[in-house]
Amino acid sequence: MRIKYAPLITLFVLLIVAFLPQASAQSGLLAGRTIVLDPGHGGEQAGACYFGVREADVNLAIGRELAARLTAAGANVVMTRTTDELVACAGTDPADELQARVDIAQAAGADIFVSLHANAHPAKPETAGVITFRAPGRSTALAAAIQEAVVEETGAVDKGVRTANFYVLRHSDRPAVLVEAGFLSNRVEAARLNTPAYQKEVASGIYKGIVRYFLALNP
Ligand SMILES: [Zn+2]
């Protein structure tokens, strides 16, 4: 080995040593955790639909990206749907459809439940930004960690953590949040949400929020 390469090799080894513990700590953190991802809507229920962008498609794309990241980190990921179809039978009552999603989380023994949606405010089309919902009095830490990390990763408007009595949040007995990744009724945000690059940023933010949540539980 020529001596002139020694400093470079030393630097390379130092970089590996510096980053390895962080990487293994994070994957160790998620190993064995059961994380249920719930891409909202599907099939005949497109959810919000503006400027040719279907919410069901955006939700599923973000869900697939997030599932890949979590799985790579050792988590046991269960998705309520992986295709553009409803979870319950086609034509089912909306409440039964939502219960079918809750049932999947219960059967899986979810450590956390993350429902993925995109928002709409057609009366105020300038409205944009990310909101993470949780049920009143519950899932505070998970919602805060995800909201903060998604805003960091996407640079989107921070519309904060809010409480809501959404069916899937109310009926989950595990920490459960519903992430509204942006407003499809906003033309600019709809266009962004429709790109794989932005979907990856949202997924990366949710992923980081989940890691921080578990890190805070087991520092
Ligand atoms: Zn929705």
Ligand 1 geometric centre to CA of 209 (Å): 21
pLDDT tens string 101-110? 999 999 999 9
Q: Is the pLDDT of residue 22 over 70?
A: no
Confidence of residue 164 (pLDDT cuts 50, 70, 90): very high
pLDDT tens string 173-195? 999 999 999 999 999 999 999 99
Ligand 1 geometric centre to CA of 109 (Å): 24
Distance, in Å, from the CA atom of 46 to the CA atom of 57, rounded to the nearest integer, reads 8
Distance, in Å, from the CA atom of 77 to the CA atom of 162, rounded to the nearest integer, reads 25
- What is the CATH number that goes with domain 32-217? 3.40.630.40
Q: Is the pLDDT of residue 5 over 90?
A: no
pLDDT of residue 9: 61
Ligand 1 geometric centre to CA of 58 (Å): 10
Please work out, in degrees rounded to the nearest 5, the angle formed at the alpha carbon of residue 166 by the alpha carbons of 169 and 59.
Answer: 85
Ligand 1 geometric centre to CA of 107 (Å): 23
- Reading phi first (left if > 0) and then psi (alpha if -120 to 50, else beta), residue 203 is in alpha
pTM of structure: 0.87
Ligand 1 geometric centre to CA of 219 (Å): 34
Ligand 1 geometric centre to CA of 8 (Å): 51
The mean per-residue pLDDT over the stretch 124-150 comes to 97
Ligand 1 geometric centre to CA of 39 (Å): 9
